[in-house]
Amino acid sequence: MKSAIQYREIDGGVRFYALLGFIGLFVLAGLGAAYYMEHNGHWVTGMTNQVVWGTPHVFAVFLIVAASGALNVASISSVFGKTPYKPLARLSGLLAITLLVGGLAVLVLDLGRPDRLIVAMTYYNFKSIFAWNIFLYIGFMIIVAIYLWMMMERKMNDYTKPAGFFAFVWRLILTTGTGSIFGFLVARAGYDAAVMAPMFIIMSFAFGLAIFLLVLMAACKWSDRPLGDAIVMRLKNLLGVFIGAVLYFVMVYHLTNLYITEHHGFERFILLDGGIYTSLFWVVQIGLGSLLPLALLYLPATGKSRTWISVASLLVIIGGLAQMYVIIIGGQAYPMELFPGKEVTSTFFDGVVASYSPSLPEFILGIGGIGLALAATVVGIRVLRFLPTSLADDMVDPHHSTA
């Protein structure tokens, strides 16, 4: 490394306010959507007594999962001692917090009684994974904030490694908790699988890194700071590995179900004749969200192009949202098997695939959550020194050769 890395706030000119204003519009729209839903009641959404978690949950869980994954870059630097990642660690920690805030905001605003947030903070049932998660999420924000402080305050730099290690362990527990929200549900055919916890962890690696890459490239470009290929190529190769790992876990999950006769109906639904869920699974999650980005990241013709790396990252995010949609909504749409071997009908939609179509307010609330995460990130790098002044190759990697 040539010299100590310099960090500086981004400039607060017209471009900053224009960007913040633009993102702010999405945040405002999300708040408006939440107000509309809460004022009228959830009947104005696509949600029903059959599909009780809808599009807002897709966005919220995606953002929460991505948040823990966004911290990975910092962990690689502090925990695993890879110095080229060190200049990126601050931004990684910031994104981890802001993405979590965005996701939690969506989750809370979609509650039946968001006004009772204080109840959720004061009444606890410690057998509930949701209750654990409240502690895990708040704890995560505090620990990452302390970790950032250790990194950013010169006097505290010595404690960066233990703080980073603690944050890394905490984030693994956190994503285990998020995956277990579904993994521990015995009632439904699509859940009740221990593999969901590690699968969510590996999904977080991919989603978080895809978002990190996009934010990093955009931030450097818009603040006119050099960003060398050394770091971008490392990150994009890592993203490719994570995409492959997610594919592996998805395969194990489905193969397990395919072996177990009682889950054949559910597998048939997701993989073969589930309409929108089958399409989302094969076309968006697997095709557009996994195989295409893998090709884009590794093919010589596209693998070195920033544009194509951006496209691949964006596709991973879209594929991730599709994956969440299939898990969360597909898992609810498939009818519960209460009477094996019987055809079931009732006035409460027993035995039939539940219909769900996302309503505009739900979608806008979800987008608002992404907006909030991005707005908080933009403000963060404006007011504090999260972003290095240069990420040029010779700043990042002492062994870098330009050959």
For binding to another protein (CB under 8 A), which residues are involved? 38, 40-43, 47-50, 52-53, 111-114, 116-117, 119-120, 123-125, 127-131, 134, 181, 185-188, 332, 336, 338-339, 341-350, 354-355
CB atoms within 10 A of CB 148: 24
CB of 53 to another protein, least distance (A): 6
CB of 93 to another protein, least distance (A): 27
CB of 43 to another protein, least distance (A): 4
Distance CA 76, CA 74 (A): 5
Residue 343 neighbours by CB under 8 Å, 6+ apart: 351
CB of 119 to another protein, least distance (A): 5
Distance CA 365, CA 360 (A): 9
Element (H, E) at 25: helix 14-40
121 or 156: CB nearest another protein: 121
251 or 338: CB nearest another protein: 338
111 or 379: CB nearest another protein: 111
CB of 30 to another protein, least distance (A): 18
- Nearest alpha carbon to residue 333 among 357, 350, 353, 358: 353
286 or 327: CB nearest another protein: 327
CB of 96 to another protein, least distance (A): 23
CB of 332 to another protein, least distance (A): 7
Distance CA 194, CA 185 (A): 10
348 or 401: CB nearest another protein: 348
Distance CA 57, CA 368 (A): 13
104 or 235: CB nearest another protein: 104
169 or 338: CB nearest another protein: 338
Element (H, E) at 30: helix 14-40
164 or 361: CB nearest another protein: 361
Residue 400 neighbours by CB under 8 Å, 6+ apart: 228, 230, 393, 394
Distance CA 235, CA 82 (A): 12
Structure tokens at 390: 């240069």
53 or 207: CB nearest another protein: 53
Amino acid, single-letter form, for residue 284: V
CB atoms within 10 A of CB 305: 12
For residues 8 and 389, the answer to whether their CB atoms sit within 8 Å is yes
Residue 41, phi-psi category: left (phi > 0), alpha (psi -120 to 50), beta (remainder):
left
CB of 55 to another protein, least distance (A): 14
Distance CA 391, CA 40 (A): 50
Distance CA 295, CA 217 (A): 20
On the CB side of 378, CA atoms within 13 Å amount to: 21
CB of 21 to another protein, least distance (A): 33
